[in-house]
Structure 1
Amino acid sequence: MSQLDGKPASSNDSARAEPPAARKPGAAALRQLLPLLWPYRGRIAIALIALLIGSATMLTVPLAFRDLIDQGFVAGAAVGWHFVALFCIALFWGVTTAARYYTVSWIGERVTADLRSAVYRRMLEQSPQYFESTRTGEVLSRLTGDTTLVQTVVGSSISMGLRSLLQFIGGLLMLAITNVKLFGITLLLLLIVVLPIVLIGRHLRKLSRESQDRVADSSALAGEILNAMPTVQAFTMERAEAERFDVSVESSFATAVKRSGVRSLMTAGIIGGVFGAIVFVLWLGAQSVSAGTMTAGELASFVLYAVFTAGGVGVLAEVWGDVLRAAGATERLMELLSAEPAIASPAQPATLPSKPQARLDLEAVSFRYPSRPTQLALDDVSLSIREGETVAVVGPSGAGKTTLFQLLLRFYDVGAGSLKFDGIDIRDLDPRELRSQIGLVSQEPVIFSANAIENIRYGRAGASNEEVYEAARAALADEFIARLPEGYRTFLGERGVRLSGGQRQRIAIARAILKNPPLLLLDEATSALDAESEVLVSAGLEAAMRGRTTLIIAHRLSTVQRADRIVVMEQGRIIETGTPAELLRSGGLYSRLASLQLVA
């Protein structure tokens, strides 16, 4: 995919990249669902058996009508038994149809759930660089809309299609048995009608894929804007954004209408052509009855078989449209499912010591972001950090400070050089094991749509309530949580909208304290706070930093005066390092920044 090959990509291109292995012609794309269907082969067999029995039962109905007409109305015949037989056939047919419908619906729902889970798990494995060029709204559209299309086909349309196919084939066979001459004419006319439909079907598949892409564009746009409502409203851009969404929706509508038009044309052609051919054949049959070469019962059964055959073709036309849409949806889902994580665990990962010390060594590290391959984000950076040391990283925006944290968390791999954790190159470690040793408090902490206790427990899922309370007290979060309407059980709202910035930060600090990692990363943890909140958050941070290696990114130099060492970065390089006092005396970049902030 484009986000993996180092080339810049648009937000749409990467999500729609089409690896050769993932692209299958037409409905053949549905074969990629076979691994998901295989675990339920027993239920599939039951559904097929019910389908075969039901179809065979249905095909006996015209024979029963033939006997009723030719024999039931003869003087002295027991007409009642013929109607009893017809009722029993219909009852048995209904039971087998119900069994098939329930079984197939269960399979469709189960496979859809499995597919959603598999795609979601694969997305959770992707590194941040994947989402540099893949919009989350696009992914969500595939997880919802596309999986619903797959569910419709697997849980309904395929079953209806197979039933109609058997109905069509069985009807043709019985037509041949009933009257070979009329059958031959019928088959020739059907071939003339169906062949042009195949060409229309190919065009319909392309339109189905395009329609789903347009819907995904609208979903991605809506998700982006709804997550930025304060900014949209602050700049009074509501009308402009509504108009932009209208354009996207109209594009989706136009494509959908075009697809529906082609599908309607295909359906009308099939049904009209097939029924026209059958009406013509029936006219010939009526001539045979008049000539005495067919009985009235044979013509009646031929009519019913012709109706079954035509009905089967009509349903197949409808189902084929669904299948083509589901084929496009399957392609899109399989593109996500086949996306390999850029950051993966080695085949035989190294193991950290039982008590990691969080000693860090960067040796001539250079790095370029995949979306900006011509620009060095880090340039030949070498740095050693001792166990328990507090190091602050300062410098202007774009200096490479956050990039350093991204590499430490192994969201990206270094382009050159090495980055070692306790003497082990982090590329030799399982990313999950590495990240389990790191706590992160960012400038804009993520607060989930849950209560306070669950948000803090996110730091360590198995923690007891008392451990959560203790972490909250250490982070100075207990005092405001206790004042919430339901205390720790208070729902904090989406993205923590019910909390202030300082309160969200203290929740994040409590989460890091609960995790209790040997390495703590603080990324601009106080830069967006007012003075009073900064004092409270800083006190919580001091508790979090106690007894562990800490790296601090800060623009406010007042927050890093207690650091053991300060590293000054500019344009991806380390240009100064030393204690705060040493750097103030050196007259370099840190001294100039300090004269602007600290003196003022």
Structure 2
Amino acid sequence: MARTPTPAGTDAEREKSKRVGALGELRPFLVPYKWMAVLAGLALVLTAGVSLTLPLAVRRVIDSFGSDSVAILDQYFGAALGLAALLAVGTGLRYALVTRLGERVVADIRKAVFDRIISMSPAFFERIMTGEVLSRITTDTTLILSVIGSSISVALRNVLILFGGMIFMLFTSAKLTGLVLLIVPAVIIPILTLGRRLRAQSRENQDWIAASSGSASEALLSVQTVQAFTHESQTRAEFSDVTEKSYDVARRRITTRAAMTVIVIFLVFAGVVGVLWVGARDVRGGIMSPGALVQFVFYAVMVAGSVAALSEIWGELQRAAGATERLIELLRAEDAVQDPADPVPLPETVKGEIRFEGVGFSYPSRPDISALEHVDLVINPGETVALVGPSGAGKTTIIQMIQRFYDPQTGRVCLDGVDLRDMRRDAFRRVMALVPQDPVIFAASARENIRFGWPEASDAEVESAARAANAHEFITGLPAGYDSYVGERGVMLSGGQKQRIAIARAILRDAPVLLLDEATSALDAESERAVQLAVDELAQNRTTVIVAHRLATVKKADRIVVMEGGRIVATGTHDALVAEGGLYARLAKLQFTDGSGAA
């Protein structure tokens, strides 16, 4: 909480695309619904065509004022009414199809981004805040929804009206149309110039919104710590600072867009007024009929309106282009850990032998510090091995390497003789059960949290696992028992209760490889003993790796591996290691005596 988040998009990244063409990246999401898009396009052409036909009817009506035939006048008004009905139906159909298309495409984009991110290794989340990812999935996709569900459709309709109107204007009066064309360069130049600046500002605005979401997410997920250390004022100030920067960029974007709108609309309508002045003089001189002038006025207003609308929509397209870039960055993000193209299948019967062969590893965020240094370790099938040592010795890193959350820079990690990098991650992780140091509890019922270990488990199997983890008694004491909602991150449970649910989850998984990372650290002495008995029972005939600071929990392990500074410095049983002296003996002396006697 001591740092102020910065937006992930750098200036270099924003230079990647200075054009709305970035929206072309959405094509793969549109292709499955091409027929819906085609129907929407046909409805769009229909409505644009009807709109362009209406001024012709108006001209006929005005020029027929000099005729004595009322029937002709009635026919023209009837035709105009029919065109209006056709325009209404076509517009409604276009809206329904385009809006549905937008919702469908954005739902697919959200799922694609989430599917990609949920499988990324932990190294990815060292570079980006979770709140920023959520901002991209929500805020950025909302912008894309606005564009696909509205802006693109409106833009295409205005393009058709612009060119169709220009053609009809040319047939109505070539002279007046020529004068109108003189205005076009004056309108296009500010659109292109200011539009480029607007795109960069829109992208920066979205980056700061994401940074603001990341800051808020981090603070709210740690709200108890923030309050415990009376850090509310600093946290408010940091969030306010990021939010104000987001507002400043938004203010500049709004100013740029407003300036572009003012310039374009003034130039367009000033030109139209000038052209109409010339047309009015031609009517007085008998060069053109009043109906022709009115028809030309209608088309001129339609063309001017379409240009003004396109200048507005251009800003929306610029923002959506930036949002698209950000989402595509997530979809194309390279994961440091990849499944092989031709994976080796998991053995039908997993014995559970784990082998580290010359493993060296440094975390991506700390490349100069070795987390593991030339580690050679063989854990035999069914063996219980405890990893002990001071904080930062590399114990938890061993657990993470076994699950292949990271790949070693040197050496390899094998399961039953097969390099983990040669198998699919979801294949070998299915035969592992984990109890992490910080138990993860989901915003669901106690029953569903335990069933997370094995989704197909029956209620009886869930309750059996809870009994084995010494969790049944406190769960039945909850207001709704196993169906009690435990709150976000298990906020309604104590630390020990959360840990027991996590252990029950691992027991229910019934996997050949069991990984316990400080599994009993949050339990009181009585609960720890009960859970330890359950773990001892569970560990039979399973390969079990236990990380523990409290040596009392590992005395019964088949083998104890002592680690320091990323290296294995000793291995053996509790009694043998105590007799050896060294690091383990010192730790045992501190924990089992007052620090002055023997272990």
TM-score by length of 1: 0.96
| Whole-angstrom CA distance in 1 between matches of 2:356 and 2:231 | 45
Q: Deviations over 1:91-114 (max 9, x none)?
A: 110100110011000010000000
* Partner AA of 1:598 in structure 2: F
The correspondence for 2:74, drawn from 74, 80, 102, is: 80
Q: Indicate how the Cα distance of structure 1 residues 536 and 501 shifts in structure 2: closer, same or farther if over 3 A, else same.
A: farther
* Partner AA of 1:437 in structure 2: V
> Partner residue of 2:185?
191
Structure 1 residue 217: deviation in Å? 0.8
The correspondence for 1:429, drawn from 423, 434, 438, is: 423
| Whole-angstrom CA distance in 1 between matches of 2:209 and 2:107 | 21
* Partner AA of 1:580 in structure 2: H
State how 1:108-257 maps to structure 2 within 5 Å. Answer: 108-257=102-251
Q: Deviations over 1:446-470 (max 9, x none)?
A: 0000111111111112222222222
| Whole-angstrom CA distance in 2 between matches of 1:47 and 1:352 | 49
**Count of residue correspondences:** 591
- 1:598 to 2:592 alignment: yes
3-state secondary structure, aligned to 1:60:
helix
> Partner residue of 2:597?
none
- 1:340 to 2:334 alignment: yes
3-state secondary structure, aligned to 1:522:
strand
The correspondence for 1:580, drawn from 574, 588, 591, is: 574
The correspondence for 1:307, drawn from 287, 297, 301, is: 301
Q: Indicate how the Cα distance of structure 1 residues 19 and 393 shifts in structure 2: closer, same or farther if over 3 A, else same.
A: farther
Structure 1 residue 24: deviation in Å? 3.4
> Partner residue of 1:382?
376
Q: Deviations over 1:386-413 (max 9, x none)?
A: 1111111000111111111111000011
The correspondence for 1:351, drawn from 321, 345, 364, is: 345
| Whole-angstrom CA distance in 2 between matches of 1:277 and 1:87 | 31
Report which stretch shifted further, 484-493 or 295-304. Answer: 484-493
The correspondence for 1:30, drawn from 15, 23, 37, is: 23
- 1:46 to 2:68 alignment: no
Structure 1 residue 21: deviation in Å? 13
Q: Is the 8 A contact 1:509 1:544 kept in 2?
A: no
Report which stretch shifted further, 466-475 or 101-110. Answer: 466-475
Structure 1 residue 528: deviation in Å? 3.0
State how 1:485-496 maps to structure 2 within 5 Å. Answer: 485-496=479-490
- 1:469 to 2:463 alignment: yes
| Whole-angstrom CA distance in 1 between matches of 2:228 and 2:531 | 28
Q: Deviations over 1:20-59 (max 9, x none)?
A: 9994331010000000000110011101111111111111
State how 1:92-107 maps to structure 2 within 5 Å. Answer: 92-107=86-101
* Partner AA of 1:381 in structure 2: V
Q: Is the 8 A contact 2:361 2:371 kept in 1?
A: yes
* Partner AA of 1:537 in structure 2: V
TM-score by length of 2: 0.96
Report which stretch shifted further, 297-306 or 473-482. Answer: 473-482
| Whole-angstrom CA distance in 2 between matches of 1:500 and 1:542 | 24
| Whole-angstrom CA distance in 2 between matches of 1:540 and 1:15 | 46
Q: Deviations over 1:155-189 (max 9, x none)?
A: 10000000111111111111101000100110111
The correspondence for 1:60, drawn from 48, 53, 58, is: 53
| Whole-angstrom CA distance in 2 between matches of 1:583 and 1:220 | 47
Structure 1 residue 11: deviation in Å? 9.8
Q: Is the 8 A contact 1:146 1:333 kept in 2?
A: yes
Q: Indicate how the Cα distance of structure 1 residues 234 and 598 shifts in structure 2: closer, same or farther if over 3 A, else same.
A: same
3-state secondary structure, aligned to 1:542:
helix
3-state secondary structure, aligned to 1:226:
helix
3-state secondary structure, aligned to 2:440:
coil
Report which stretch shifted further, 416-425 or 274-283. Answer: 416-425
Q: Is the 8 A contact 2:283 2:293 kept in 1?
A: yes
3-state secondary structure, aligned to 1:398:
coil
| Whole-angstrom CA distance in 1 between matches of 2:216 and 2:535 | 37
The correspondence for 1:552, drawn from 546, 549, 562, is: 546
Q: Indicate how the Cα distance of structure 1 residues 323 and 52 shifts in structure 2: closer, same or farther if over 3 A, else same.
A: same
Q: Is the 8 A contact 1:172 1:309 kept in 2?
A: yes
> Partner residue of 1:367?
361
3-state secondary structure, aligned to 1:198:
helix
Structure 2: 5+ residue stretches without partners: 595-599
Q: Deviations over 1:267-304 (max 9, x none)?
A: 11111110110111011000000100010000010110
The 4+ residue runs of structure 1 with deviation greater than 3 A are 10-25
| Whole-angstrom CA distance in 2 between matches of 1:182 and 1:38 | 43
Structure 1 residue 538: deviation in Å? 2.3
| Whole-angstrom CA distance in 2 between matches of 1:217 and 1:21 | 16
* Partner AA of 1:375 in structure 2: I
* Partner AA of 2:57 in structure 1: A
* Partner AA of 1:379 in structure 2: E
| Whole-angstrom CA distance in 2 between matches of 1:370 and 1:90 | 64
* Partner AA of 1:81 in structure 2: Q
Report sequence identity in percent.
49
> Partner residue of 2:405?
411
Q: Is the 8 A contact 2:7 2:211 kept in 1?
A: no
| Whole-angstrom CA distance in 2 between matches of 1:457 and 1:226 | 27
* Partner AA of 1:235 in structure 2: F
Q: Is the 8 A contact 2:14 2:200 kept in 1?
A: no
| Whole-angstrom CA distance in 2 between matches of 1:390 and 1:73 | 105
State how 1:280-295 maps to structure 2 within 5 Å. Answer: 280-295=274-289
Structure 1 residue 230: deviation in Å? 0.8
Q: Is the 8 A contact 2:8 2:207 kept in 1?
A: no
Q: Indicate how the Cα distance of structure 1 residues 515 and 451 shifts in structure 2: closer, same or farther if over 3 A, else same.
A: same
| Whole-angstrom CA distance in 2 between matches of 1:590 and 1:18 | 52
Q: Indicate how the Cα distance of structure 1 residues 59 and 12 shifts in structure 2: closer, same or farther if over 3 A, else same.
A: same
Q: Is the 8 A contact 2:18 2:200 kept in 1?
A: no
* Partner AA of 1:372 in structure 2: R
Structure 1 residue 341: deviation in Å? 2.1
Two-structure CA RMSD over aligned residues (Å): 1.7
Report which stretch shifted further, 350-359 or 325-334. Answer: 350-359
Q: Deviations over 1:445-499 (max 9, x none)?
A: 1000011111111111222222222222222222221111111111110001111
State how 1:511-522 maps to structure 2 within 5 Å. Answer: 511-522=505-516
- 1:277 to 2:261 alignment: no
Q: Is the 8 A contact 2:499 2:522 kept in 1?
A: no
* Partner AA of 1:102 in structure 2: A
| Whole-angstrom CA distance in 2 between matches of 1:17 and 1:350 | 40
3-state secondary structure, aligned to 1:133:
coil
